A and B are shown apart, each in its own frame.
Chain A
C-alpha cells in the first residue's frame, strides 16, 4: 500500500533538496505491532524516512545516520502536537498523519542562540 504523507522539512533541508515548505512522499506501509496480537499494516516513521531518502537522495545522512539509522541528535519529529522523536521509528504514525490531514514535521532543534 502506498499513500501520500505530508512532510514539512526544516529550511536548510528544503534548500538542499530544492523543495518548498511541504512535500508529499509515498511511503510503503509495513507490518506493525505484535504478531500475536493486533498486527496490521500502517505507515511508520521509518517508512516515511525511507521514502524521503529514496526520492531525495541528497537528504541521506542529514536526518538520520547512514548506517545506524539513528536520528541525528539535533533533529526532532513532531506531529499532531506530539513529539515523536523518542518513539520507536517502527511505531505507526498518528492516524491523522497517515490520512494526510496533518503533516509530519521534521524540525531542527533549538540550539545555538
Chain B
C-alpha cells in the first residue's frame, strides 16, 4: 500500500488531497465544481479510480458527477431521482402531513463488489440504486413505503437519508439511517425493510419505545464483524452486537454524547472514534477544545486525543460524513471541520496534523488507500 487519496466535499466545491504512504507531504487539488455544495464524494472499492460526487445548489438542483481517472476529470451522469409511485406524505416539523419532495443527495455508496452499482441516500428520505454507473437511478421504494413513512419527521437538516452501510459478508443486507426516522435494515437487497431502533432512547419523542422517530446521526461497522454496529445518535453513542436488533448505550465517560460522526479503526474492530459536540444547539466542542475521543474497548471507556488539535478557542463542528480511516498498516484517521480544516493522524489518533486549514466548511471526508502512488504526489 503506497498512497492515500482523501476526498473532501465542502460547501463551495470538492478537493482531492493526495499523499504517498508516509502521509507527510500532501498535494491539494481543487476546487472542483467551485461554488457548488458537495455533500459527499466516494470511490468504488472495485475500481478506485471511479469516484462519485454529489454536487448540489439551491439554485440549480442536483448533479451527480463521476470521475473514472481518480478525480482528475469529471463527467455529469444521471441526476433524475424520481420517487416510485405515489409519494404520499411524511410529517412536517409542525406535525402536519407534508408531501415527499426530492431536494438533494446526501450520501453516495458504491457497491463493494460491482463496479457499476452505486446507492444514493436522498432528502426527502429515500434510497436510490444505479446499476449503470450513475447514469440512471431507481428508487428502492420498499423503504419509503414502509408502514411508518407517514410518521417520519425531518431533523434540523431536513428529512435526509444520510447513512448507507453495506454488509461485506452478505450482499443482500444493507443498513441505512434517516434523520429523524431512525435506522433500518434490509436482508433482501432493498426490497423490504425493518426498523432497527430497539434500545434507542430519545427525549425528543414522546414514546421512548417507538420503532421510528429517533435521530440517528451515523452508523459505523468494521468489515470483519459486520453484525457489530456503532451509532452516534443525536444524543448517545450506541452499540449493537446483533445487526441492529438491539442497541445499548456505550457513551461511558464522554464529556458529552452529542455528536455527528463515528468511525471504527481499520485493524482494531473494538477501537471507535467520535467527536463530542456540546449540544444540539451549541454545534461546537465543549470548552473550546477540539478533541477526538477513542475507545479501545468498543465503548464505555473513552480517552481524549488532543495532540496537534486546538485546545483553546475552537468552535468548529464536524459533520456526520466528515470522518474516515485509511487502511495503512498504521491506521490513519481523518476528519474535516466547519472551519475548513482537514486533520489527519497517521498513528490511530495519538498525534494530529492539519493537511489543509482554510478550505470552505467541510461536509464530507472519505479516504482511499491506494496500491499505487497517486500520480499527483
Q: Is the CB of B80 within 8 A of A108?
A: no
Q: Is the CB of B35 within 8 A of A62?
A: no
Q: Is the CB of A109 within 8 A of B76?
A: no
A11 neighbours in B (Cβ, 8 Å)? 35
Instruction: Tell me the B58-78 residues at the A interface (CB within 8 Å).
Output: 58-63, 76
Q: What string of 1s and 0s marks CB contacts (under 8 Å) between A1-33 and chain B?
A: 000000000111101100000000000000000
A112 an interface residue at 8 Å Cβ cutoff? yes
| Stretch of A40-48, A67-75, A79-87, A95-103 with 4 or more beta carbons under 8 angstroms from chain B | A67-75
CA distance A112 to B35 in the complex (A): 12
Q: Is the CB of B80 within 8 A of A66?
A: yes
Partner of A63, one of B58, B60, B63, B82: B60
B79 an interface residue at 8 Å Cβ cutoff? yes
B35 neighbours in A (Cβ, 8 Å)? 11-12
A13 neighbours in B (Cβ, 8 Å)? 60
Nearest chain B CB to A14's CB is how many angstroms away? 11
Residues of B within 8 A of A (CB-CB), count: 15
Q: What string of 1s and 0s marks CB contacts (under 8 Å) between B78-103 and chain A?
A: 01101000000000000000000000
Nearest chain A CB to B154's CB is how many angstroms away? 19
Q: Is the CB of A111 within 8 A of B60?
A: no
Nearest chain B CB to A69's CB is how many angstroms away? 13
Number of A-B contacts (CB under 8 A): 43
**Chain B residues touching A, majority SS:** loop
* Given A12-B35, A67-B82, A58:B76 Cβ within 8 A: yes
Q: Is the CB of A61 within 8 A of B59?
A: no
Nearest chain B CB to A35's CB is how many angstroms away? 33
* Given A12-B35, A12-B36, A66:B60 Cβ within 8 A: no
Residue of A nearest to B55 (CB): A16
CA distance A60 to B59 in the complex (A): 13
B279 an interface residue at 8 Å Cβ cutoff? no
B80 neighbours in A (Cβ, 8 Å)? 60-61, 66
CA distance A110 to B35 in the complex (A): 15
Q: Is the CB of A74 within 8 A of B82?
A: no
Report which A residues bind B (CB closer than 8 A): 10-13, 15-16, 58, 60-63, 66-67, 72, 74-75, 108-109, 111-112
Q: List 30 A-B contacts (CB under 8 A).
A: A10-B60, A11-B35, A12-B36, A12-B57, A13-B60, A15-B33, A15-B34, A16-B60, A16-B63, A16-B76, A58-B63, A58-B76, A60-B80, A61-B61, A61-B80, A62-B61, A62-B63, A66-B79, A66-B80, A67-B82, A72-B59, A72-B61, A74-B58, A74-B59, A75-B59, A75-B60, A108-B59, A108-B60, A111-B59, A112-B58
